[in-house]
Amino acid sequence: MNKRFSTVHAVNDLSFEVERGQIFALLGPNGAGKSTMVRMLCGIFQPDSGRIHYAFDEGAEPTGTAPQQALGYLPEDRGLYADKSIISNLLYFASLRGLDPAEAKPRAMEWLERFSLADRAAEKLSGLSKGNQQKVQLVTAVLHRPKLAILDEPFSGFDPVNQDLTVNIIRELAASGITIILSAHHMDLVESLADRILLMHNGRRVLSGTLEEIRQRAATGQRLALGFSAPFDAGALGELPGVQAVVASTSDSARLALKADASLNEVLPRVAQVAPLSNVHTEQPSLREIYLTAVGAQA
Amino acid sequence: MTYGQAVRRVFMWEFMRFLKLRELITSVIVIIALDVGVPLIIGLVTGESERHIAVVDWEVTLQSSERFTFSNMPEADALAALEEGSVDGVLAFSEDGSAELTVQRGRTWNQQLQGYLSQAFLPSRLERVGVSAAQLEEITQPVAMDITEVDAPSGVGGGTLVSILLGLMIFGIFTGTGLLFTAITGEKTQRVTELVVSAVPPQAWIDGKVLGTIAYVVVNLATLGVGIVLSVAISGLFSGQGLPPLPSMSVDPLTVLATLGLVVVGAVLYLYLFAAVAATIDDPATSQRSGIIMLPGVFIALGWLGLIGDPGNPAFAFLSYFPLTSSSAMSVRIVLGDAGALEALLALAILVVSCLFARWAAGKVFSLAVLITGKEPSWGEMMRWLRRAD
């Protein structure tokens, strides 16, 4: 798909597929094109070229539009009717998604109970803290039990405790059969959550696949965490063959990024020649490191 | 969910969003209080009491009335009585018939006393100049003229009807557009728009909004009507005159229907246009476009001018077909008998087509503008959107 806004090519020749029941993450920094992609998925914007095919049921023919009740949406620009009550907001948006108020109310109360907001259901939304308003907004996106929930930056505005709560809720939704597409720039949270990931930069695909596939495709070498029993020269470590960079160092430790084709058996003896080692362990590169490396390579 | 269901759900939300039963009851009470209570209070505050006037050294005793009583007394006694407040004024007559009134500063009944005295002295003055009362009556008799009105049955006439309807239209449009402005700019400020547009088609949203606003305005007008009827009834009962009779209508039902049609379709046209304009406003506090809300009043007033001017001139005829003014101008021409049935139907048809076009155009502008924040699309941009629309 392609989408342009005056001088910005927000989404540039992007194609991907999401399987039913998956948690699919669009990752990238601000301005990567994630929200534009999400808005096209929700039917808010139409792509300049390209098409979206939805097939919600097994064996169903793909269609160009998704029924409103099949979609749930948490927009990046959060907003509900601040002058109306929490329960009124939930029931209204559920009704717009085709859910009968009689059915929606007990469901809404269940969700509010879970977020410890049940006793405030009749209060005006404006009376809630920003974090609690975020929770109500999240409930709005999933109250009608959509087949596809599109969550734009679901963790933003939450403290770490509520970020964890949101991660758990997204896992539960996926386990109940709801397909999740989320966009985020909290790569650490997404790393532990997503089944498949699409890394974006300037509207283009950088990498995609499962975390393991991305690691393989990124051709990023391992990380080596080293402890030394004597002072060492960090500069000398950086110049060793097979070492891409010294990521971090203290007076008695260092963390090295190895080149993709570097062999541990060859690098370690060279390191030991710089200074005596007290401990060694290897790490997989984080998604953030992979992303930064990949974007750096593209640039 | 079907398109109709989406419109219905938006309609119910928009209608109930601003409707507050307590406020409606309060407004009825305020209308009654204004209509019944205020004149009562003004009457009590400015009420007229009996005035005692001392007449100085005069042989004639003036006849007292409900408003004034007169007592003859010597000048010194009269002035002393005025000072101690037992009389309100001291009146002294000269030989030439003129009078001098001495009162405390700031009294407002002097003119009334003068009028009373003029009436009281009229017979003696007439006698002095040799004119009898019968002669005076004959002189002041108006010229006899019988007036026969053709097709002018009693009751509420066309001019009154069209004035009432256009007054209600202006009230409805101001209430409705004000509400739409508040609602739409509020939704943009609160960032609700994207969530709604992801759930319902923008055209369904604007249709539901306009219908909800119309319903709200109708309830408000009905409340106003109930308030007026109750206040008239209460006033009648308080004054002892009883309930006033229901006004009869001297306009034929087809004229009423045509005028009502023009007014309702005209109001809907304005609501669609203003919903689209409201969607383009980024910050209502600073936007120049907020002032546009006053325009319908000007356009409708232009049509109203026909009631006091000449509805037959060509410029007014043009206004009676132009969609923004036809609801008032053609209504005036219909009730004054200046436009025939075909002309009325043509104006109504043009207005209906314009209203449908306004609905379509407003939907297109609304769907794009309502998602734009941080800037206002120019009129040129909006025209481009319409040209590119399906």
Between positions 150 and 189 of A, the ones with CB within 8 A of B are: none
Where are chain A's structural domains?
3-216, 223-283
Kindly report the number of other CB atoms within 10 A of residue A27's CB atom.
27
**Residue from A95, A133, A138, A153 whose CB has the most chain B CBs within 10 Å, to mutate:** A95
Mean of the per-residue pLDDT values of chain B = 83
pLDDT at position B332, please?
A: 84
Q: How confident is the model at residue A113 (pLDDT cuts 50, 70, 90)?
A: very high
- Mean pLDDT over A6-31 rounds to 89
Is B198 in Cβ contact with A71 (below 8 Å)? yes
Q: Where along chain B do the CATH 3.40.190.10 domains lie?
A: 51-137
pLDDT at position A63, please?
A: 86
Query: How close A162 gets to chain B, by Cα (Å)?
Result: 22
Superfamily classification of domain B51-137: Periplasmic binding protein-like II (3.40.190.10)
Say if CB A40 and CB A11 are below 8 A apart.
Answer: yes
pLDDT at position A87, please?
A: 95
SS3 A30: coil
Answer whether residue A194 shows pLDDT above 60.
yes
Please give the C-alpha separations between residue A171 and each of A74, A207, B180, B362, in angstroms, as whole numbers: 16, 23, 41, 42
Answer whether residue B151 shows pLDDT above 60.
no
pLDDT at position A53, please?
A: 92
Measured between CB atoms, does A43 come within 8 Å of chain B? Answer: yes
Q: How confident is the model at residue B238 (pLDDT cuts 50, 70, 90)?
A: confident
Q: How confident is the model at residue A106 (pLDDT cuts 50, 70, 90)?
A: very high
pLDDT at position B316, please?
A: 83
- Global pTM? 0.76
Query: How close B223 gets to chain A, by Cα (Å)?
Result: 24
- Mean pLDDT over B195-224 rounds to 92
pLDDT at position B156, please?
A: 57
Measured between CB atoms, does A144 come within 8 Å of chain B? Answer: no
Query: How close B190 gets to chain A, by Cα (Å)?
Result: 5
Task: Write out chain A residues lying below 8 Å of B192, CB-based.
Answer: 79-81
A278 versus A261: which is more confidently predicted? A278
Express each pLDDT in B165-208 by its tens digit: 888 888 888 889 888 888 898 888 888 988 998 899 999 999 99
Contacts of B383 by beta carbon, 8 Å cutoff, 6+ apart:
none
Please tell me which residue of chain B has the smallest CA distance to A46.
Answer: B368
Burial class (CB in 10 A: 0-12, 13-18, 19+), B269: buried
Express each pLDDT in B41-56 by its tens digit: 877 776 667 889 998 8
Strand partners, A149: A72, A180
Express each pLDDT in A201-212 by its tens digit: 889 988 888 888
Most confident of A133-142, A226-235, B237-246: A133-142
Phi, psi of A222 (to 5 degrees): -70, 165
Contacts of B359 by beta carbon, 8 Å cutoff, 6+ apart:
B206, B207, B210, B272
A31: nearest Cα among A202, A198, A186? A202
State the architecture of A3-216 in CATH terms. Answer: 3-Layer(aba) Sandwich (3.40)
Which listed CATH number (3.40.50, 1.10.155, 2.60.40, 3.30.70) goes with A223-283?
A: 3.30.70
Answer whether residue A148 shows pLDDT above 90.
yes
A109 versus B117: which is more confidently predicted? A109
